[in-house]
Amino acid sequence: MITPIARNYKGLISITGPTRSGKSQLAEFLIKEQDHVAYIATSKPRPNDPDWQKRIDLHRNRRPDNWTLIEHPNDICNAIDSNSEKQSILIDSVGGLVEHHLIEEDYDWEIFQTKFLNCITKDNICIVVVSEEVGWGIVPSTPIGHLFRERHSTLTSLISQNSNKSWLAMNGTAIDLDKIGDLIP
């Protein structure tokens, strides 16, 4: 049985899964007992996409009113560092973060990726990161789609490897990867 994480929990928790698998709901459930939560929404609104807006609204309506909302920050590490150590953080999701940095050259992306990993692997706060599984689906037919999938998949793997706890959400079921899996050497 899944239980929310303890109020004094410190460390990184990663949650991955395909679209509409329940990963955001799992993240919200796990962090709900924390006294103070900052919710970092990484995706930007898409003005001509009513379905995307429905998904954003669904997430907004599920969040407690007392959570701090930080929407698509330009510098996510600064947003994280600006929060007090008493505030737990939920980042939803890696896809919006990668999209925000997609136009960067590989060198700049590598610098950002390293900075982001250093920023979220602190042991003084609780950070929950939601990430879409993009490598299980259709192979992108465009170079930008391929770049997105490669950067996203690599970053998701690095987050998982550095997590204190890893979950996979699949068809509304939470799978504790630490209980059934081992990191590949």
Q: Tell which CATH architecture fits domain 11-178.
A: 3-Layer(aba) Sandwich (3.40)
Q: What does the block give as tokens for 51?
A: 């379905």
Q: Where are the beta strands (DSSP E) in 84-180?
A: 87-92, 126-132, 165-170, 173-176
pTM strictly above 0.85: yes
Mind listing the pLDDT tens digit for each residue in 70-99? 998 889 999 999 887 778 999 999 999 999
Query: How long a stretch of residues is the chain?
Result: 185
Mind listing the pLDDT tens digit for each residue in 20-53? 899 999 999 999 999 899 999 998 878 888 887 8
